[in-house]
Amino acid sequence: RLQCLGSLPHLKQRYAQGFQLDVKVQKGRIKSYKEWIKKVFPDAKLLEDQEENMTHQVAHISKSSLGKIFRLLEDAKNEQGIVEYSVRETTLEQIFIRFAREQDEEQGPVKGFSQPRSDYMTEVKLTDIKNSSIAKNSSVELQRM
């Protein structure tokens, strides 16, 4: 069983890995855009690549990083053939899914068990956080069952 306890803002602040950047690029400009994104955000991870639609994980640069990301994208819009883009914070669901994947990727036996981890099936339960009655200091729990 895997648990992650804390307030919603605390969990996002501690475990979020930056911003998700969704970009649509003109077909003839994809190669140029990919070179540009590597230069401007060297640590960016390409999460999805579906022809001209791409999703990147971009690390927090500083407290003003969101504004900086928008400024860089706006400045490069014409030059790099960016048709449209959106920037969003990592969601709690994405954080929990990452936790579950990391648990599945661990190699070797689970402490206290003689079988390797790969012999176990993982199910992740995410408590409904869309309920408007949840206060900012509420706890969210991730369970491995």
Domains along the sequence of the chain with CATH: 17-89 (3.30.70.920), 92-144 (no CATH)
The rounded distance, in Å, linking the Cα atoms of 9 and 138 is: 9
Rounded to an integer, what distance in angstroms lies between the CA atom of residue 25 and that of residue 50?
Answer: 11
And the tokens for 81? 């053939």
Structure confidence by residue, pLDDT tens digits, 2-35: 566 777 777 777 777 778 899 999 999 999 999 9
Of 111, 117, 138, 136, nearest to 5 by C-alpha is 138
pTM summary value: 0.59
- Residues 6 or more apart in contact with residue 115 via CB below 8 angstroms: 109
Q: Which residues pair with 7 in a beta bridge?
A: 139
Q: What is the pLDDT of residues 68-101, one digit of tens each?
A: 888 999 999 999 999 999 998 877 777 777 777 7
d(Cα 11, Cα 5) in Å, to the nearest integer?
Answer: 8
Beta strands 82-89; 142-144: pairing state: unpaired
